[in-house]
Amino acid sequence: MSVRDDIRAAQRNDPAARGAFEVWLTYSGLHAVWGYRLAHRLWRGGLPFLARVVSQGTRFLTGVEIHPGATIGRRLFIDHGMGVVIGETAVIGDDVLMYHGVTLGGKGNEVGQRHPRIGDRVVLGAGSTVLGGVTIGADSVVAAAAVVLKSAPPGSLLAGVPAKFRPRDGGGFGPATE
């Protein structure tokens, strides 16, 4: 996982990105991901208290809260990241694009995989919420303000409250699956 890959992902996903130095210096979503990586190393190294201190410091500086126990793939880009929350057992694939206000949370006091699994190349729209141990398949799009409570297969478009899915290439909306 390289800083250069992260900067290129930001430039690829944000037409307002003017140059690598500007992205490196001013993109709080990237700063949050970099803070998470440090906290995650500490978490995995058996230093959970220090990991949480780093995580909360990063939250204070960026407005993005990523639990150090979460698993995040390569080139996650959080655009305008304020208000993003990613829970402890969340798993995020590679090349995910996430807008501000996204929550990947739990639904209560579940045990085990209590946060979502997000596939590769998924777009999570502004203010969307994905709750519980559900899976969002690769190449899916979660619309802004959608509330996802059930799993969806790869290539889905999820919209509504609660969200229903349909294939991204057309077709009607159907209930998400368990």
Average pLDDT in the 145-158 region? 96
Q: What is the pLDDT of residue 1?
A: 63
pLDDT class of 110 with cuts at 50, 70, 90: confident
* For the chain, domain boundaries: 3-175
Q: What is the pLDDT of residue 171?
A: 57
pLDDT surpassing 90 at residue 139: yes
CB distance 165 to 152 below 8 Å: yes
| 83-94 residue pLDDT tens | 999 999 999 999
Question: Which CATH class for the 3-175 domain?
Answer: mainly beta
| 48-92 residue pLDDT tens | 999 999 999 999 999 999 999 999 999 999 999 899 999 999 999
